[in-house]
Each structure stands twice: as C-alpha cells, then as structure tokens.
Amino acid sequence: MKRIFTILFVLFIANLYCQNVSFEATGPGAVSLNDRFYLKYTINANGNNFIAPNLSDFNILSGPNQSQSQSYSYINGKSTRSITITLTYILAPKELGKFVIEPAKININGKTYKSNTITIEVVKGNTKTTSNNSGSYNNQSNQNNNSSSGTVSKDKIYVSIIPNKRTLYKGEQLTATVKIFTKYDIAGFEDVKFPSWNGFFTQEIPTSDQVSLKRENVNGQIYYTAVLQKMILQPQKTGTITIEPAKFDIIILKQGQRKQRRSIFDDFFNSGYQKYRVSVKSRPVKINVKALPNPPEGFDGAVGTFKFAASIDKTEVNVNDAISLIVKVWGNGNLKLINEPEVNLPPDFELFDDAKITDRIKNTSAGANGSRTFEYVFSPRHSGTYKIPPISFVYFDPNLKKYKTINTKEFLINVEKGSGDTSQISHIVRGTTKEDIKYLGKDIRFIKTGKIKLKDKANYLYGSNLFATVYLLSLLLFIILFIVKRKHIKDNADVRLMKNKKANKMAKKHLKNAALSLKENNKNKFYDDIAKALWGYIADKLNISGTELNKENIESTLLNHNADAELVKEFINLLDTCEFERYAPTSKEDRLNEIYKSAETLIGKFERIIKKNRS
Amino acid sequence: MYKKIFFILIVIASFKVSIAQDVEQYIDSAEIYYTNSNYDKAIEMYKKVLAAGKESGFLYYNLGNAYYKNNKITDAILNYERAKLFIPNNKDLLFNLDMANRNITDKIEAVPEFFIITWWKTFIGIFTSDTWAIISMASFVLLLSSVFLFFFTRTYSLKKTSFWFGIILLFLSFSSFIFSGKTKDAITKHNTAIVFEPVINVKSSPGDVGTELFVIHEGTKVTITQRSGDWIEIKLANGNKGWVKSDLVEII
C-alpha cells in the first residue's frame, strides 16, 4: 500500500516537471548572403547536456548565449513555476543554397528531447540596398513630406492576390490569398480595401489579427511577406470572373541620410527613420469558371467530395412517440450551400418542424471541411409497419469530373399501439382540432339567399283600417245574428203560448161540435170530434208537434207534468175508445154521453194540473 | 268613360307588378354581387330595394352582412339591429351581430335581464306583428262563434265545451292583440339608436353647457328615453343616462 502511494507521488512530481516540455528552434526562412541572423532554441524546463546541431554550413559569430527567465505565480492556493531558457546563436551564411539545420538535443530529467529542423535558404542578397539608398540621395531634401512616395520603389513593396486554381467548375472551391511583399519596415496600414469577391460565395479562413512578417525568397530576392486575408471562394456563375484588385495605403519606415541633417533639432527629433505613405494595388486576377456538365435529377448544387449517411434513433416505437432521423453530409466542398435532402415520410407521420441544421465546418487552406447534419423529428399517429424510403444525395466531384449519387438504406419502423396514455394524447389532439374549427369560424354567417318575403314599409295590419274593420264587422255580425236568433226564439215561444192559451178554447169548440154530432146522431163524426179535441188540446198544451204526437209520448210528457197516473191512464183509455168506436162502432147510445162527459172533465182536470205546474 | 277608367286601372296594376319584379331583380343581383365579394354593389342593390319602400328582416340582415364585409362595422350593426326588430330569434343574425359588436370600442356590461323577460321577448318574437294581428282577428271571430254557440245550443256538452273554448279564445285574442301592438311599436317607435360618431361626450343636460358625464364610441347601441329639441336623452345597456345631440346617432 505504502509503495503504491510512493509511486503515485513520484509520478505526480514527475508529471509536474515533465508535462508540456517544449523544445523549439526558430530561425529565418531566407537570408541573404551578406546578412547575419539569429538561431534560437527555446526550452521551458531545466535541462542539461545540450547537443548543438552541425552548423558547419555557417560561420558562428557568437553563441550559444544562454538567457533564462523564471516566473512564479500563486493563484487560488496553487503555486506554479514557469521557466524559459533561450540559447541563441548568431550565424552568418558562407555560400548560396538551401541548408537544413538538424534538430538539437537536450536531456531533461533523464529524457532526451529533440527540437524541430529548420530550413534556411541563402540567397544572393540585396547588395543593391546601399546603392539604392545612394540613388535616392538627390531627393532627400524633399522628403520631409510623409505622403511623398517618390523614392519608394514599387517592386520593393507590392500586394498580390494568389488563387490556388485559375480554372475550375462552378461551385468548386478555391482559396485565394491576399499577400503583401515588402523590403521596407511597415509601420502600419491605412485605408485597407480588400477585394469585394463579386461572383463568389465566400468564407474567410481565420488569420491572426496581428500581421506577422515572414522572410521569404521570391525569385532570388528576400522579401518580408504577410498574409492579410485568406478566402475560400465558390464561383456562383460561369465564365470569366475578374477579382477586383486589393488596395492598401501602407505607412513604411525608411532610413534617412543622417549626415545630411546635421542640425541639432534634426538629430533630436529624427531617429533616423522617416515615415512614408505608399499606395499599393494588386493586379486583377482572372478566374475561368466552367459550367457543370448536364446535372442529373436530384442535383442541388453540391460540389466537392462528400460522404452521406442517415441514421434513425429507434425503429420500435409506440404511437405518438417522437423519432429522430439524422441525415449527415460530410467531406470537403460547399457544405454551407447544401440544402435539406428530400425525405419522404409516410403520410401518417407528423413532422414536428423543419429539419434542424447543425454545421461543423472548418475553413482551411484546403477549403471548407466538415459536416452538415439535418435532424428530422416526427411521430407516427397510428400503429403499423412503415417504411421510410432511401434518401439520395447527388453531388459533383470536381476531381473525377463526374456526378455521384449516394443512397442511404431504407428504414422500417414498427409502430405499436402503446399504453393507456395514447388515448389521452388523442384527446388532446382532438381538442386542438376543435380549436382550429373555432378559429376558422371567425367570420360572419352568409346572407340569406333565395326569395326574401318583403313587405311595404310602415304598413302594419295592427292598427290598420282592415284590422279594426274585421273586429267591428265581426262584432256587428255577431250582434245582429244574436238579436235575430233571439227574436226568432221569442217568436217561437209566442206561438206556443198562443196555442196554449187557445188549447182550452179549441177543445171546447171541438166538444161543442161533438155535442152537435151527438144530437144529429152522427156517431162517426162525434168520435172524430172528441179525438180532435183530446189530441189537439194535449198537442197545444204540451207543445208537442204533430210528428211526435203519439200515445207513448203523451203519456211520458203528462207524467213529466206531475199528472196523476190514473188520470193519464183514463185519458189514454178514452183515446183508445174513440179510435176503437170510430172504426168498429158498438152503437151504444148512453156511451156517447158518457164519453162526452169524461172528455170534458178530463180536459178540465188537465187544464188545472198544467196551470198549477206552470205557476 | 268606363273604358278610360279601365285603362287607368290596368296601367296602375302593371306599374305595381313592374315594381315588384324590379325589387326581386335587385335582390337576386345583390346576392350574386355578394357571392362574388363585390360588396359595394351589393349594398347599392339592397339600398334600392329599401328605396322602393320595401323592407324585411332578412333584407336588413343581408345589407348588414355586406357592410360588415366592407368593414363598415357601424353600418353593419345598425342594419343588424334593424333586422333584429323583425327576426329577433334568428340564430344567424344574433351570431353576426355578436361578431360585429366585438369590433366596437365600448364594452358595456348589460344589466342582466330577468329570465322570464327573456322568455317573454323570445315568445313575442316567434311571429311578426302581422301574424299576431291575424291570430288575434281569427281567434276573435272564433270567440264570437263560440259565444253564439254557448247561448243558443240546447245540448249540455256542447254548451260546456263552447264555454271553455270561448275563454281560451278570449285570452288568445287579447294577448295576440297586445303582442301585435308591441312588435309593431318596437319597429315603428324608433326608440333605440346606434352611435355613428367616433367619440361622443355624453352630457348631464341638453345643451352644450351640461357637465360631461361619460364618453361613448362608435357602434354602441343606446335607448332613447326623452327628446328635447335637437337633444335626446339616451340610456346605455348598463343603465347610465345622459344627453347627446340627436344627429350624432342613427336611429334604428
């Protein structure tokens, strides 16, 4: 246990010292023959046993000179120590050519580290520099004016746009570099105008903000160079596209002639360098853009070398579960211009949103590199087995000069009915559709079509003459009818009364006739008159019409009038006798008188009974 | 002489017929204009019908719709309210009036109506004034008949039936008489109005000197309770009262 702890501790300490050891060699890329230059080795740890490389190609003027810097810092209870050791040689080239300086070696904590190799190009050098300086000597007196550029040579400072291709297909990528070449020291830039890159889709490759000058050999001359802008360009049209020149106003420093200015003020204020403003302009660059050959179906402008794949997160789901389908394009080319590939989802699937696009693109000198991802989120609304057909992607490969098509595989999705919560979800879905209908109904209802029943304005039945007339007329008619009917009834009643009153008289008259017939001994007529007297009296007295006149009726009516049953019987018997004697005479004289008398008494009795009844 | 009179009668009759045909044509063409979203023309046509002295609940309803579609909400409300006098229970009308009222500025909480009154109004609104008048007249005639029957029948059951029947008819005749009058009054008394000015200051008394009580906006319905010269006293649905100039409102 203890041992393990010790080992860990040692490892920790070792780690502290060993981590991030860097051993770096720096030197200029190009030097002129009569220049001297620095070769530096930088180590960030204490080391020993430094083995210098073979420097026999150069004259060692000085070195190695060691300088060391250390710093301690104590941050949040943690102390760190950093150390930088620099070994410097001052060298001078012996002859022209390209020389490789092998790595130096150093031992740090028992471990050998190697530095990088350095290539130094020795060129002929600018022996002209001095002659140039003396050549411009005549103009020195005018050079107080900073903006004057008369003495600055155009081929000592210039800007150029360097494309990596001059002929390419539409949509293919090229990188263009805006670079400055100078032999002067640059104090700063004024009025920087980069080209507008018309006709191209552009993506800038990030360069450091600080412009760092590098020595470079250009046709045997040493220039300080700096990359000012680096762009990835994709031509958007065919034909020849001219890139407009870049324009810069650069302030340069130039050593003046000290001896000319012996004045104390000049010495005081001039450090010997003078500032000049130089306007430089690049040459226009022509790019020839070729049209793409006949594009196949499904081609959407992707140019480059790509790979294409699709994946799905699950294939066994429940109804209403969310599924995400990821389609990825990666490679080198105009990734930013790639549109959403067409995905044919089954119609029962609800796509939630447009595809989510995620870019991971790095702009490098080799062009835009990286990937573009499309994520589709959708959910099935019903159970079953569904198929998502292959997704295809067509692109043009400028290296092969051919179109290429990549198809993904087909996806099968099995959708289960799911558990109880699906019903809830479908309820919610139903709810939303209901709301939709409500929303759609936000308009007034349609006009009433077809025939409209119109009426005259201000013409109402109520209160009109017709209205009043109907009431009055009907009321009047009613009253008239009522009165007429009333009178009619009254009249009817009068007739009866009269008959009633006359009944006794008539009966007496008939009886008188009967008495006459008796004297004449006309038996037939006698019975007839007696019957007439009896029938007529009863009919008039009891208001029985002729048709209703029969014995049963008479009997019931008389009984209704509270007549004595015996009396009624006697009356009926008398009527019977009369009838009988009329058609079958028995010829008994005394019976006639008897019948006459009984008729007379019966009528008298009834007269009394009915009168009594009425009062 | 007789020939002349006859001729004049024919002329008058044909003139009347031609008016009726024109009106029907206006309505038909207005319907076509409306369907084709030419609301200006539709309004023009319906106005011609009104100018011909004809009116109807559905005519005002259609005119209101045309105004609504033309985005003249106040005119639409006015015509819907007019239509409501004729066809107070029409569902489409009430829906559209509600839609139109959502567009106006004033949101006045109406004093809630007692439910019996609502029923009562609905019941009265079942028939038009004329229909109620006809019912009243017919039941009056039947009433007289049953009275007659009651007095002069000799059959006991008929007498009893006619008695009860008569009482029902008396009630029916009387109430339909009143309903007819009420519905007619609602249309002809013109005691409601729609505000046509964008903003009106309602004053406490007629005349410009009155204190300003409250402000009402275009499209609000008011009830006219009094008149005094150019000024009318109005009552809002929430019971507030005040005076405004009569030319600022359009009487329904």
Residue of chain A whose alpha carbon sits nearest to that of B150: A482
For an interface test with B, which of A448, A472, A475, A477 has the most B Cβ atoms less than 10 Å from its Cβ? Answer: A448
Smallest Cα distance from B197 to chain A, Å: 24
Tell me if B130 and A455 make a contact (CB, 8 A cut-off): yes
Does residue B147 sit at the A interface (CB-CB below 8 Å)?
yes
Domain range B192-251, CATH architecture: Roll (2.30)
SS3 letters across A471-501: HHHHHHHHHHHHHHHHHHHHHHHHHHHHHHH
Smallest Cα distance from A554 to chain B, Å: 22
Tell me if A456 and B23 make a contact (CB, 8 A cut-off): no
Q: Give the closest residue to A383 by CA, choosing from A438, A339, A426.
A: A426
Q: Is the dihedral of CA A169, A170, A172, A173 positive or negative?
A: positive
Does residue A463 sit at the B interface (CB-CB below 8 Å)?
yes
Token look-up 């990937």 returns A371
Tell me if B62 and A453 make a contact (CB, 8 A cut-off): no
Cis preceding linkage at B88, omega within 30: no
Distance CA A593, CA A602 (A): 14
User: What residues does B58 pair with on adjacent strands?
Assistant: none
Read off the DSSP letter of residue A243: E
**Could you give all domains of chain A from N- to C-terminal order, each with its CATH number?**
2-123 (2.60.40), 128-136+144-290 (no CATH), 299-416 (2.60.40.740), 489-614 (1.20.120)
Distance CA A48, CA A109 (A): 9
Tell me if A481 and B148 make a contact (CB, 8 A cut-off): yes
With b for 16 or more beta-carbon neighbours within 10 A and e for fewer, the A401-423 pattern comes to: eebeebebeebebebeebeeebe
For B12, half-sphere exposure in the C-beta direction (CA atoms, 13 angstrom radius) is 6
Q: Which two tokens stand for residue A73?
A: 């810092």
Average pLDDT for consecutive 10-residue bins of chain A (615 residues)?
Answer: 58 50 81 79 80 80 79 78 83 82 82 83 59 37 40 74 85 85 80 82 78 76 83 84 84 64 53 74 85 82 86 84 86 83 79 81 80 86 82 86 86 75 43 42 77 80 86 91 88 78 80 82 80 81 74 78 79 81 68 80 79 64
Does residue A467 sit at the B interface (CB-CB below 8 Å)?
yes
Does residue B247 sit at the A interface (CB-CB below 8 Å)?
no
A66 Cα distance to chain centroid: 69
B9 Cα distance to chain centroid: 34
Please give the pLDDT value at position B138.
92
Q: Is residue A394 a contact partner of residue A333, using CB atoms and an 8 Å limit?
A: no
Please give the pLDDT value at position A423.
43
Q: Which two tokens stand for residue B226?
A: 């009094």
Q: Please give the full DSSP string across A527-559, using - where no structure is assigned.
A: HHHHHHHHHHHHHHHHT--GGG-SHHHHHHHHH
| B111 pLDDT higher than 80 | no
Q: Which two tokens stand for residue A21?
A: 């050891």
Does residue A479 sit at the B interface (CB-CB below 8 Å)?
no
Q: Is residue A215 a contact partner of residue A181, using CB atoms and an 8 Å limit?
A: no
Q: Which two tokens stand for residue B5?
A: 């009179």
Tell me if A452 and B59 make a contact (CB, 8 A cut-off): yes
List the CATH code of the domain at B2-101.
Answer: 1.25.40.10
Tell me if B134 and A444 make a contact (CB, 8 A cut-off): no
Distance CA A89, CA A78 (A): 36
User: What residues does A120 pair with on adjacent strands?
Assistant: A99
Instruction: With beta carbons under 8 A apart, name residues in chain A contacting B95.
Output: 444-445
Q: Give the closest residue to B27 by CA, choosing from B58, B68, B73.
A: B58
Instruction: With beta carbons under 8 A apart, name residues in chain B contacting A457.
Output: 50, 53-55
Q: Give the closest residue to A455 by CA, choosing from B138, B66, B85, B141.
A: B85
Pairing of strands A118-123, A97-101: antiparallel
Beta strands in A256-355 (DSSP E): 273-281, 285-290, 299-312, 316-318, 323-333, 349-351
Does residue A438 sit at the B interface (CB-CB below 8 Å)?
no
Tell me if A455 and B69 make a contact (CB, 8 A cut-off): no
Q: Is residue A464 a contact partner of residue B61, using CB atoms and an 8 Å limit?
A: no
Q: Give the closest residue to A117 by CA, choosing from A105, A106, A109.
A: A105
Please give the pLDDT value at position A255.
67
For A397, half-sphere exposure in the C-beta direction (CA atoms, 13 angstrom radius) is 12
Per-residue pLDDT band for B19 (boundaries 50, 70, 90) equals low
For A388-405, write each residue's pLDDT tens digit. Answer: 888 888 888 888 888 888
Tell me if B137 and A467 make a contact (CB, 8 A cut-off): yes
User: What residues does A179 pair with on adjacent strands?
Assistant: A160, A227
Tell me if B137 and A455 make a contact (CB, 8 A cut-off): no
Tell me if B56 and A443 make a contact (CB, 8 A cut-off): no
Please give the pLDDT value at position A146.
40
Tell me if B61 and A451 make a contact (CB, 8 A cut-off): no
Tell me if A444 and B96 make a contact (CB, 8 A cut-off): yes
Tell me if A474 and B141 make a contact (CB, 8 A cut-off): yes
Tell me if B133 and A462 make a contact (CB, 8 A cut-off): yes
Smallest Cα distance from A347 to chain B, Å: 35
Does residue B68 sit at the A interface (CB-CB below 8 Å)?
yes
Listed by number, the residues of chain B in 42-61 with a beta carbon closer than 8 Å to a beta carbon of chain A are 49-50, 53-56, 58-59, 61
Does residue B220 sit at the A interface (CB-CB below 8 Å)?
no
Does residue A75 sit at the B interface (CB-CB below 8 Å)?
no
Tell me if B54 and A454 make a contact (CB, 8 A cut-off): yes
Nearest to B31 among A444, A447, A456 (CB): A447
Distances (CA, A) of B130 to A213, A425, B171, B228: 105, 56, 18, 32
Instruction: With beta carbons under 8 A apart, name residues in chain A contacting B133.
Output: 460-462, 467
